[in-house]
Amino acid sequence: MNPKELFGSDYNYFCEQDPFNSQNTVEGYVSRKATEYYGALLVTKINNQEIPSQLIMGTPKMHYPFTEMADGTRRYNFPSAKTIEIYEKLDGTNILAYRYLFNDYYYYTYKTRLRPFVSSGRFGNFYDMWMEVGKPYFGTIKRMIETYDCNLSFELYGARNPHLLLYKNSLDPAFLFGVSNAVFQ
């Protein structure tokens, strides 16, 4: 697979050590294109060994039901519906649990939206926060990925991971949904 064919010109190359499987250095491309490929990975090498390309879908970008007008205002366009389900919007950091195959073995790991792995940097100490609140669930997460053959999307939110919403809880993970690696066109 060619990253340009999948992602157009909006992608970044990466070569990073997997912090959850430190014996592996993973190479490939991450899509920045705001389509169904937003945050997707195309893994092409592991430990300097070329592998059959693996497409790992990321958490999709949720689009809001409005159109930006020329004057900067928004016109909301709600589709017709028989019922509407409303959920609390959690504002935090998206964490995707996924697996990749190397030498006939699956390695389970985690990434943020536009990075191949959860890390810590100028925007936050996401690795330490995820290890603190996510690690107790790693076994369950692995079993869910194996059982349902999909990636799992979480939101890492709370007062210690500040965004636009203020929370009373210090830090929590919230399971959002599964993400299939099958791409329907």
Q: What's the token pair of residue 73?
A: 């205002």
Asked if residue 11 belongs to a domain, the reply is yes
Asked if residue 76 belongs to a domain, the reply is no
Query: Contact 171/154 with Cβ under 8 angstroms?
Result: no
Mean pLDDT, the chain cut into blocks of 10 residues (185 residues total): 91 98 98 91 98 94 76 80 81 95 98 94 89 97 97 95 86 94 63
Q: What's the token pair of residue 146?
A: 């194996």
Nearest-angstrom CA–CA distance, 71 and 81: 29
Residue given tokens 């592991």 in the structure block: 46
Given phi > 0 = left and psi -120 to 50 = alpha, else beta, which region is 103? Answer: left
The pLDDT tens digits for 109-122 are 999 999 999 998 77
The pLDDT tens digits for 8-37 are 999 999 999 999 999 999 999 999 988 889
Please give the pLDDT value at position 174.
95
Asked if residue 125 belongs to a domain, the reply is yes
Q: What is the domain count for the chain?
A: 1
Nearest-angstrom CA–CA distance, 165 and 170: 13
Asked if residue 72 belongs to a domain, the reply is no
Asked if residue 184 belongs to a domain, the reply is no
